Amino acid sequence: MATNVNGMNPTDIKDPNYFHKVVDCQWACPAHTPVPDYIRLIAQERYTEAYMLNWDSNVFPGVLGRTCDRPCEPACRRVRTEEKPVAICRLKRVAADNKGDISDFMPVVPQEGNGMKVALLGGGPASLAVARDLLPFGYEVHLFDRDQKGGGMMRSQIPSFRLPAEVLDEEVDIILNMGVHAHFGHEITSMQAMLDMGFDAYFVGTGAPKGRGLELIGHEHVSDHVSIGIDWLSSVAFGHTTKIDGKVIVLGGGNTAMDCCRTSIRLGAESVKVVVRSDFGVMKASEWEKEDAMGEGIPIINNRPPKEFIHENGKLTGIRFECVEPVKGDDGRLKYVPTGEPDVVIECDHVLMAIGQDNHCPWIERDLGVTFDKWDCPELDPDTLQSSNPKIFFGGDSAFGPENIIWASAHAHKAAISMHLFLQGQDLKADRPPEGVNLISQKMGMHEWSFDNEHDAAVRHVVPQVPHVEALKDVKLEVELGFDAAAGAAEAQRCLNCDVQTVFTEKLCIECDACVDICPMDSISFTANAPEDVLRQSLTAPADNAEQDLYVSEVLPTQRVMVKDEDVCLHCGLCAERCPTNAWDMQKSVIHVPQLGTFAE
């Protein structure tokens, strides 16, 4: 049928991105983990499979189930239909906590190598994930790290009350035991030296290990009492620091600041305050990390940029702060203007600086063909993560600056594909495996679907925690207890199964309106086609969320088109259930995100 030149073109549902976008959580996840799929497995108590689905995609489900930045949760459809997202992150932990033996599911690493050797610099999540992707293809993988154990920032930066060492060890060891040649205690000081070792390709996953400092007035007199947050956390993680005395001020508003303040209070600080130059609402720390810190009685003081260290006889006594307030500028951005109140002095004995970190590769000689931009970041092809030296690839924080672990996994998959193509003499772009989508009908009978389509109106379940009194005594005691199996199953029911798609077949539709009448969210309309902005306002309910697509059909016999606003569809399947001709069908979309494993398919 001809398309209407005056209106929207019919939606191409064969484009893998169309239905991928409908699965908001998966689309938002850098590694594109198939979230609804593993949540259904949890609901079915198939924890091992749920874990493996995660492991395949994001490599560290146990770690991420505790520490992920959760880009999926604000994206969750449930935020738009009701309010609170599904507790996706903590459900991941349920899978990790309850999984059984996974050894049978592990990829097979060939006994005979393919004769090529690869060096991974840094032992953090990015390098480990690259190792996992490359090993099944017969590469000899060598991993170098200055620490004595693998894990990188996951070990040195994340306090064990959030991520117990056993959980980390387990997931790091899974990969190391696949046959990684680990060189721990190997401080990398020269890229040239690494190149001299004669590997066929290199992956730089050394992170962003340099914490930023702040040169305030008086800094030179009190430097003994001022620590860089990430260095201090790492010293706690490796047992070099076991206590902190007196009053502590943490400067900064990110997750590192939250980890610093919560660690301080556990190491015996008399009092801990977080002081942030910006407003509470724009702090970089995740909502839940702020809540956890405040829940432990730690005040967060906002709109106070620091001016000067105050000291007496070489001893730090406090910090002087200016008082500002946020004002929205003409460009919509917040500006901070002085309130005119006198400066405030907050007493302290120790300061932890958690104001940011940089990737820092002074050990990469600048004559090796790797070009760096003006921020001293390597210039990379964003699609392949290859540097200007074709042998050298980057990933994780050392690629584009500090991000979360989930980004390291995503980069690793990308870089592993590139390295494999490079080493096999193929083109890094033309020969990349494509994205794909499969649609599989979920209809099992007249009113039977292979998914639980009943809408659960329950509110988000709260993750239980250890009582504060106990938690604050022990820096190694994990605060969150995680959902137990029953709570996990209940929370899993809140998932709307957005990957079970409403698929419309024009030629079967008799335009009886049954779907329009039954749809609880007024998502379906049959109307004259029009340009998108007009069409959005002429539907059963206005489609005001322009970030969400309209699913537009070909022209129907009445010259109208079917338009479905994807925004708040509950994926309850009532349209398909009330459709007399199966013009609507509920079909599971399986999104194929390129990963080195998919080569083997």
Is the C-alpha dihedral spanning 531, 534, 537, 538 positive or negative?
negative
Q: Binding residues for another protein, per CB under 8 A?
A: 80-82, 447, 453-455, 457, 510-514, 516-518, 520-523, 541-542, 544, 557-558, 568, 570, 572-574, 577-581
Of 437 and 512, which has the nearer Cβ to another protein?
512
Of 368 and 556, which has the nearer Cβ to another protein?
556
Cα separation, 206 vs 143, whole angstroms: 11
Cα separation, 60 vs 174, whole angstroms: 10
CB contact set of 274 (below 8 Å; sequence gap of 6+): 249, 250, 252, 253, 257, 258, 261, 293, 298, 299, 300, 301
- Work out how close the CB of 34 gets to another protein at its nearest, in angstroms, rounded to a whole number: 24
Alpha helices in 424-484 (DSSP H): 468-471
Contact indicator for 455, 572 with CB cutoff of 8 Å: yes
What is the secondary structure of 531-558 as a DSSP string? -HHHHHHSSSS----TTSPEEE-PPPTT
- Work out how close the CB of 534 gets to another protein at its nearest, in angstroms, rounded to a whole number: 16
For residue 115, count other CB atoms closer than 10 A to its CB. Answer: 9
- Work out how close the CB of 33 gets to another protein at its nearest, in angstroms, rounded to a whole number: 26
- Work out how close the CB of 518 gets to another protein at its nearest, in angstroms, rounded to a whole number: 7
- Work out how close the CB of 81 gets to another protein at its nearest, in angstroms, rounded to a whole number: 6
Give me the numbers of helices (H) and strands (E) for the chain, helices first please: 23, 25
Of 343 and 454, which has the nearer Cβ to another protein?
454
- Work out how close the CB of 41 gets to another protein at its nearest, in angstroms, rounded to a whole number: 22
Of 426 and 545, which has the nearer Cβ to another protein?
545
Of 45 and 448, which has the nearer Cβ to another protein?
448
Of 381 and 517, which has the nearer Cβ to another protein?
517
- Work out how close the CB of 510 gets to another protein at its nearest, in angstroms, rounded to a whole number: 5
> Strand ranges (DSSP E) for 146-233?
181-184, 201-204, 210-211, 226-228
Of 381 and 456, which has the nearer Cβ to another protein?
456
Closest among 326, 353, 324 to 340, alpha carbons compared: 324
**Would you say how long the chain is, in residues?**
601
Closest among 151, 142, 149 to 62, alpha carbons compared: 151
- Work out how close the CB of 44 gets to another protein at its nearest, in angstroms, rounded to a whole number: 19
Of 477 and 530, which has the nearer Cβ to another protein?
530
Cα separation, 91 vs 113, whole angstroms: 38
Contact indicator for 237, 267 with CB cutoff of 8 Å: no
